[in-house]
Amino acid sequence: IAAIELPQGEWPELVGSLLANMGGPQVEKPAHLKQATLETLGYVCEEVSAEILAQEQVNSILTAVVQGMNASETSNDVRLAATNALYNALDFAQTNFENDMERDYIMRVVCEATLSPDSRVRQAAFECLVSIGSTYYEKLAPYMQDVFAITSKAVKEDEEPVALQAVEFWSSICDEEIEIQEEYSGDFTGDSEVPYFQFIKQALPALVPMLLETLTKQDEEQDQEEGAWNLAMAGGTCLGLVARAVGDDVVPLVMPYVQENVSKPDWRCREAATYAFGSILEGPSLPRLAPLVNVALNFMLSAMKDENNHVKDTTAWTLGRIFEFLHGPNVQFPVITQENLPMILTVLLESIKDSPNVAEKVCGAIYFLAQGYEEGTGAPSPLSPFFQSIVQALLVTTDREDAGDSRLRTAAYETLNEVVRISTEDTATIVMQLVPVIMQKLNHTLEMSVLSADDREKQSELQALLCGVLQVIIQKLGASDTTKFGIVQYGDQMMSLFLRVFSCRSATVHEEAMLAIGALAYSTGAEFGKYMTDFYRYLEMGLQNFEEYQVCAVTVGVVGDICRSLDDKVLPFCDGIMTQLLKDLSSNQLHRSVKPPIFSCFGDIALAIGENFEKYLIYAMPMLQGAAELSAQQVIRDDELIDYNNQLRSGIFEAYSGIFQGFKGNKAELMVPYAGHILQFIENVYQDKDRDDSVTKAAIGVMGDLADTLGPSAAPLFLQTVFYKDFLDECTSSDDQQLKETAEWALSTINRITNVG
């Protein structure tokens, strides 16, 4: 009720009357009343946003909460309720954390609560510390020594739920420092709003041993249980974050542990050592890691035959990390060579037959191994000799009876996707042979008996995966004229399957089928027209899907594919499509990320149907102008909004380009009334310091399209304008060849119509 009423300025007495329940120095209130009151305050703080409560109310709540947490409070239930309430009130405490004395007091009470005799209170107090670590990183310096001491004690001695939170504190500090570093490196001025204290680097000599100690506290069943989380997992995850935060410095602290434990008789030691090694593979530099990995690789491959399942699981995961970070066309010291590749694949293709959890990690390793060969030169890939065996092994894996465990089936199909993506011309036949195989599997899912919600879920999951594989294959084979026929010949059968798949009500399946259809439209070109009558209703359904906005977004993209494939043959469907796109744009329900692609889609439609776009102009132009004005007035608050604004502007420019190009010749005069506004918008974007490269390219393109389409009638506009020369100058001196050439073309077009130069 408070969540509804307080934002409307109602129930002003709520906080005051709750606080009265807490009593005071002279008036002791019953423990159960204080507990219930603190729980209520906690819920109120959780539900109500920070700006709703006056600072005075925040101060009173914090005073009551901190009083309830104090060691002098005799009831553990009250202390627990108070600590939980503080967790929810921390977002409100900005002003209090600015004040040294108030902050010291809150921190002292939280730290004392981590020593409470009640483990529930200790756990809640550590949860508060985790939240403070993220929210008030810049205020932590004076407390870090004490915090290290109490977290260290908890990790070593306390019950697991408490120890987990103590580890989480360090993970959250890593998150903060990784983010700060990313901010520094992305912005060459070196400015960051948050100071960088390097807490992790300072704590490293003590922190790493503490984390390593957790790694041998595994659970017997951890790799078989979905959602398992224990101290060893938390410690290893934290170690991975530490490596990302400090880079090379972590290596000498971890490697002795790895070397000492990796061959011990106790499986816990072997698994822990492997996990430690795998965890530090992201962060340190390649020259630092490569020699270590080169030595370790053979050992890892033989460890895939370890007698213990957990050791094999972690070893396969580590191999995946090695391939992810130390293998690829841009990797300076690649660890995979022509010489060791056969051995690696022999081991992986043998181990993929292991238990589902191990096999799933092996799929991951094959995925990253394949990914490393992505930017091939067109010559046969080093993987080509093994291609058939890899594909075969993955297909066999998808058919395993236990493939439903540990996400194995999903991992196998997704790995198959990557293997197809990196395939080269010499293995195209094998990829083509996959089409009927996957179609047959998809057909099989349509005949599955569905008796329960569980069956339905399994069916949807499988259909989504298979549509995904078909999409990847269509895209791969459709991209080359020499292999396109492999898709075209199955076009009718595939389309018929996709249409049947739409009858199953699952957003993910719809999205995957839609993506596959987009790829098919791209590959088959004008021939796709024959499917339009049957497909149109699903296209419209996708555009109407506000709730599952990804489906809507993907469908908008497919409309673009269809426009490019069908050209003016798309016209009979355009009334319906445009009506729906305009509704989408006007909707408050639809996720905002879908709106920029809708504008781009206007451009696709206009370019496809040319002068026939005239009848949509009176609807589309106000939308475009409105969005342009809105984007110009936007008060930029964060990077996300900057990014969105750039996407929106690119979409608007792509729409204008399509419309100008479509109207060139017969209907150019229709755009004359809009030209001034469009140039004004381009000027506005030119002045924007946050303008990105895509926006620049699109803006320059529109400027040339405007001049080219309107011809001399646009000359006065350019002659009255100064900015365009500066903008074009900036672009013609760019290092980006495409931008430079578009700008040169735009300049020569403008000069032509204005008779300059």
Partner 1 sequence: MAGQAGVPPRVHKRSISDQQRRREIALERQKQSRRDLQQHARQLASGFSPPS
Least distance from C-beta 273 to partner 1, angstroms? 15
Q: In the 8-state DSSP scheme, what is residue 526? A: G
Supply 685's token pair: 């974007």
Which pair of structure tokens corresponds to residue 513?
């089928």
Q: How far is the CB of 752 from partner 1 (least distance, A)?
A: 8
Smallest separation (angstroms) from partner 1 to the CB of 161: 4
Nearer to partner 1, 407 or 484 (CB): 407
**Least distance to partner 1, CB of residue 188, Å:** 27
* Nearer to partner 1 among residue 219 and residue 629 (C-beta): 219
Q: Are 414 and 466 in contact (CB under 8 A)?
A: no
Our CB check for partner 1 shows the closer of 395 and 632 to be 395
CB 706 within 8 A of CB 714: yes
Taking the complex as a whole, the smallest distance from the CB of residue 624 to partner 1 amounts, in Å, to 16
Q: Is the dihedral of CA 309, 315, 317, 319 positive or negative?
A: negative
- Residue for token pair 């998150």: 175
| Whole-number Å distance between alpha carbons of 664 and 711 | 10
- DSSP assigned state of 379: S
- Cβ partners under 8 Å of residue 385, min gap 6: none
Check: CB of residue 362 under 8 Å from CB of residue 404.
no
According to DSSP, residue 383 is labeled T
Shorter beta-carbon distance to partner 1: residue 14 or 519: 519
- Least distance (Å) from partner 1 to the CB of residue 101? 25
Tokens of 561: 């594919």
- Written as one string, the DSSP assignment of 400-438 is -TTTTGGGHHHHHHHHHHHHHHT--GGGHHHHHHHHHHH
CA nearest 418: which of 469, 460, 482, 466?
469
Q: How far is the CB of 709 from partner 1 (least distance, A)?
A: 9
CB of residue 468 vs partner 1: minimum separation in angstroms?
A: 6
Q: Cβ closer to partner 1: 368 or 538?
A: 368
Smallest separation, CB 508 to partner 1 (Å): 8
Q: Are 671 and 713 in contact (CB under 8 A)?
A: no
Q: Given the complex with partner 1, which of 357 and 631 has the nearer CB atom? A: 357
**Closest CB to partner 1 among residues 40, 70:** 40
Q: Which is nearer to partner 1, 263 or 738 (CB)?
A: 738
Which position has the token pair 């011990």?
264
CA 6/CA 18 separation, integer angstroms: 14
With beta carbons less than 8 A apart as the criterion, state whether 460 and 410 touch: no
Cβ proximity to partner 1, 316 vs 621, nearer residue:
316
Cα torsion 452, 457, 463, 465 to 10°: value is: -150
